[in-house]
Amino acid sequence: MVNGMNEKEMIWDLTDMFSSPKDPAIDRKIEEIREKTKKFVEKYQGKINTDRFGAEEIKELLEELEEIAVEFDRVETFGYLSFSANMTIPENQQIYNKVKEVEAEISQKLTFVDLELGKKVYENKELIDDPILKEYKHYLEKLMRKVPHQLSEKEEQIIIEKDQNGIEAWSELQSQWLNTRKFEVEVEGVKKILSYGEANSLLNHPDRKTRESAYRAIYTGLGRDEIVYATALRSIVADWMKMVKRRKYKRPVDAALIANDIEYKTLENLMKTVEKNVGLYQRYLRIKAKLMGLEKLACWDIIAPLPNAPKEKISYQKSKELIIEAYESFDEEYASAVKEMFEKNHIDAEIRLGKRNGAFCSSWYGGKTSYILQSYGETLADVYILAHELGHTTHNYYAQRAQRYLNAHSGMIIAETASIFGELLMTELLLKKAKTKEEKQAILAHVLDEAGMAIFQVSARFWFETYMYEAIERGEYLDGETQTKYWTSGRDKVYGDAIEWFDEMRWEYAIKPHYYMPNFRYYNFPYVAAQLLVWGLYQIYKKKGKEFVPTLKAILSAGGSKSPEELVALAGFDLSKEEFWQLGMKQYEDFVSQLEELI
Ligand SMILES: [Zn+2]
C-alpha cells in the first residue's frame, strides 16, 4: 500500500488501446493507416483547387481525413503514453520511435491538404457559409486566415532548410550551453556543484539562504556567457523581422494571433488591462513580504513558499476525494468525467524511475476518454496539479462527445478553461475546509503566486519581446547590454519597486528556452489570456451560481469549433473589451483581499 491506496490504483491501465507495446495489432493498425493515407493522397492531391471540387467534395475529404487521424490518434497516444510511463524500457522506446516516424511520414504526405484547401476557400469565400460544411466552418476559417501569409512551396522549403541550421541551431546552442554549465550553490549550508536543472529546482526551496545562493549562482553565470545568449537571441529576433516582412504580416505578433485564433484588439485590451493592474500584483507581493516577516521581498522570495506553511502530507486517496468533492460542488455530471478517470485507472500517479517529468493529460478521441500522468508527491502543489489535469479530462469529455475530431481540440487560450476552473473550485473547497489561519494563507499564497506568474511575470516577457522587435525596426543593435535594458524595463513595469533585485538578474530572460525556439514567437501572451479568461468566467459563476453551469458546459463542448471571442460571447461578454479582462483581475483582487484579512 502506498499513499493509502492499492499500488495498482496509482498505475494507469492502457489496455483499452492496445494490450502491450508488443501487441501485433499495433503494426496491423499502422499498415492500415499507411494504406488509407496512400489512397487519400492519390484521390485528392493536386485536385482540391479545381472547379469540380465543391462543398460536397470538401466534406467527404475532411471526413476521410478525420478517419485517418482518429485511427492514428490511438496508435500515437499509446506510443507516447507507454514511453512517458517508463522511458528506460526498450520496448517502450521502440514503440515511441516507430510512432514518431510514422507520424512524420504521414503528416508530410498530408501537408498538401491544409495548403490546397486553405487556398480553395480563400479564393471561394462563399464555401465558408455553405450549409453542407456547417460543422467545419471555423476549421476552414482558421485555414483561410493563414493563406495570405503563405509563400510558394519552394520558398517554404527553403525556410525550413535555413531554420535547421539557423534558429534551430541557435536554440540548440542555448539549451546545450545552459545545460552543461556548472553552478556552485550552498544548499542548506553545504557547498555543492550542480547542473542547471539541479540548481533551477532550488529556486523555490523553503530555505531562504539556499534560494538566494541558487539565484546568485545561476544568474551571475548567465552574464558571464553574455556573448552566447545575446548573439543567439539577436539573430533569432532579427530573422523573425525578416520573415514578418516576407510573409506580409502587419505586426510581429500577427502569426501568434492567427495561431491562437484571436484578434489584435483582444490582445491589445488584454495587455492594457494587465498594465493597469500591476499595482494589484505589487500589493500582493507587499502582503507576502509581511507574511514572510520581511521589509521587502527579494527576487528569490517571489515564488517561495510561506515559511509557516503547514507541512502536512496529503495522500493520493485524500487528494482524489477532495478533487471529486470540488468538482461535484459545481455539478454532478461535471464531476462524472473525473470519477471515471479513477474508476478506469486512467491516471498514472506513481513516482518511478524513468518516468517523464511533470504532468499532462492526454486525450484519446476514439475511446472518448483521457489519460493523466503525474508523479504524485503528496504536497498541496500536487493536489492542485491533479485537479488541473482532471480539468483537461473534463474538457475532453465534453468536446469529444460534442465535436468531430477536427474540432475536438482547442487552441491554447481555451484549452486551459476547465483546468484552471478546476483549480478555482479546489481553492474554494480547501479554503472552506482549512482550520487554521496558516493553512488559509498557504492556499491563497499558492494560488496568487501561480496566477501572479502567469498573468504578470509572463506579461513582462511579452513586453520584452515587443521592445526587441521595435528596436530592430529602429535599426538598433541588440547587444547583451541593450537586451538587458529591455528586459528590465518590461520587468520593472510589472514589479515597480515591490521587489529587491540584484544586478545580474537583468540576465533573467536568457534562460527562457521559448525565446530561442523556432516558430515560437510570442509564446507568452496565451498564458496571460488563458489565466485571466478563466478567472473572468469564474467571477461570472460566482455571480450567477448554478445558472452558469450550462454556459460552461457549452463552452467546453464547443472544443475548437469556435474562436475564443465567440466562446466568451456565450457567457454574455465581449472578449475584445477591457471590461471582460477586468473581471479576471477582480478575482485576483478578491483573493488578495482575503489574504490581507488574514495577516
Ligand atoms: Zn494545463
Please report the pLDDT score of residue 153 as a whole number.
83
**pLDDT tens track for 64-107:** 999 999 999 999 999 999 999 999 999 999 999 999 999 999 99
Ligand 1 center to 71 CA (angstroms): 25
Output the pLDDT for position 7.
Answer: 64
What's the 11 CA to ligand 1 centre distance in angstroms? 21
Q: What is the mean pLDDT of residues 185-198?
A: 95
pLDDT tens column, 230-245 = 999 999 999 999 999 9
Q: Are 414 and 142 in contact (CB under 8 A)?
A: no
Instruction: Give the Å distance between the CA of 388 and the centre of ligand 1.
Output: 6
pLDDT at 577 over 50: yes
Helix or strand (DSSP H, E) at 361: strand 360-364
Is the pLDDT reported for residue 1 higher than 50? no
Distance 564 CA to ligand 1 centre (A): 16
User: If you count DSSP H runs as helices and E runs as strands, how many of each does the chain have, helices first?
Assistant: 24, 7
Pairing of strands 369-373, 360-364: antiparallel
Domain ranges of the chain: 7-150, 251-310+436-599, 312-410
What homologous superfamily does CATH list for 7-150?
Oligopeptidase f, N-terminal domain (1.20.140.70)
Using the mean position of ligand 1's atoms as its centre, give its distance from the Cα of residue 183 in Å. 31
**What is the distance in A from the centroid of ligand 1 to the CA of 372?**
11
Q: Which residues pair with 369 in a beta bridge?
A: 364
Identify which of 253, 245, 256, 183 has the alpha carbon closest to the alpha carbon of residue 220. Answer: 183
**361 Cα to the center of ligand 1, angstroms:** 8
Q: Is residue 167 exposed (0-12), middle (13-18) or buried (19+ Cβ within 10 Å)? A: buried
Contacting residues for 69 by C-beta, under 8 A, at least 6 apart: 405, 406
Residue 361 has pLDDT above 50, yes or no: yes
Q: Which of 224, 218, 228 is nearest to 183 (CA)?
A: 218
Give the pLDDT of residue 121. Answer: 97
All residues at 6 or more sequence positions from 189 whose CB lies less than 8 Å from its CB, including other chains: 209
d(CA 22, ligand 1 centre) in Å: 31
**Strand 499-500 versus strand 297-298 pairing type:** parallel
Distance 562 CA to ligand 1 centre (A): 19
The alpha carbons of the chain give a radius of gyration, in whole angstroms, of 25
Give me ligand 1 centre to Cα 362, in Å. 11
Average pLDDT, the chain: 95
Distance 409 CA to ligand 1 centre (A): 13
C-alpha cell at 42: 492519390
Q: What is the pLDDT of residue 164?
A: 87
CA of 415 to the centre of ligand 1 (A): 7
Task: Measure 391 CA to ligand 1 centroid, in angstroms.
Answer: 8
Residue 2 confidence (pLDDT) = 46
Give me the mean pLDDT over the 518-543 stretch.
Answer: 95
What is the H or E stretch that residue 348 is in?
A: strand 347-348
Q: What percent of the chain has pLDDT over 70?
A: 99
Measure 300 CA to ligand 1 centroid, in angstroms. Answer: 25
State the fold for domain 251-310+436-599: Neurolysin; domain 3 (1.10.1370)
Dist. CA 416 → ligand 1 center (Å): 5
Could you tell me the pTM of the whole model? 0.94
Query: Ligand 1 centroid vs 377 CA: distance in angstroms?
Result: 18
Number of Cβ within a 10 Å radius of residue 131: 7
What integer is the mean pLDDT of 100-116? Answer: 93
Residue 419 alpha carbon to ligand 1 centre in Å: 6
pLDDT(451) > 70: yes
Q: Is the pLDDT of residue 3 over 70?
A: no
Cα 360 to ligand 1 centroid, rounded to whole Å: 7
Instruction: Give the Å distance between the CA of 61 and the centre of ligand 1.
Output: 32
From the CA of 389, how far away is ligand 1's center (Å)? Answer: 6
**Cα-to-chain-centroid distance, residue 425:** 20
* Cβ pair 12, 355 in contact under 8 A: no
Tell me the pLDDT tens digit for each residue of 497-526. Answer: 999 999 999 999 999 989 998 888 999 999
Reported confidence tier of residue 445, pLDDT bands at 50, 70, 90: very high
The pLDDT of residue 414 is above 80? yes
If you measure from the C-alpha of residue 382 to the centroid of ligand 1, how many angstroms do you get, rounded to a whole number? 14
> Which pLDDT band, with edges at 50, 70 and 90, does 546 fall under?
very high
DSSP for 492-548 reads HHHHTTSEE--GGGGGGGGG-GGGGSTT-TT-SHHHHHHHHHHHHHHHHHHHHGGGG
Distance 411 CA to ligand 1 centre (A): 12
Mean pLDDT of 189-209: 94
For the residues 101-127, what does the mean pLDDT come to? 94
Element (H, E) at 369: strand 369-373
| Percentage above 90 pLDDT, the chain | 92
User: How far is ligand 1, taken at its centre, from the CA of residue 513, in Å?
Assistant: 19
As a whole number of angstroms, the distance between CA 569 and CA 590 comes to 24
